Structure 1
């Protein structure tokens, strides 16, 4: 169970990082 919650936290943090990169990409290239 402990490793299960740790996996969820890893997935959430990874998706947050991907979202931050996507937001940076959009704000940099699509809305100058």
Structure 2
């Protein structure tokens, strides 16, 4: 029951981490 919620939270953390990293790279390029 709680396992699915934990996985969802972990997936969100990965998405935020990747998105933040991409934004940082784009900012550095510009």
- TM-score, normalised relative to structure 2: 0.93
Deviation >4 Å, runs of 4+: none
Q: Which runs of 5+ in 2 are unaligned?
A: none
Aligned length: 29
Q: Which runs of 5+ in 1 are unaligned?
A: none
Q: Output the CA distance in 2 between the equivalents of 1:22 and 1:14.
A: 12
Aligned-pair Cα RMSD in Å: 0.3
- Name the larger-Rg structure: 1
**Which residue is 2:24 aligned to?**
23
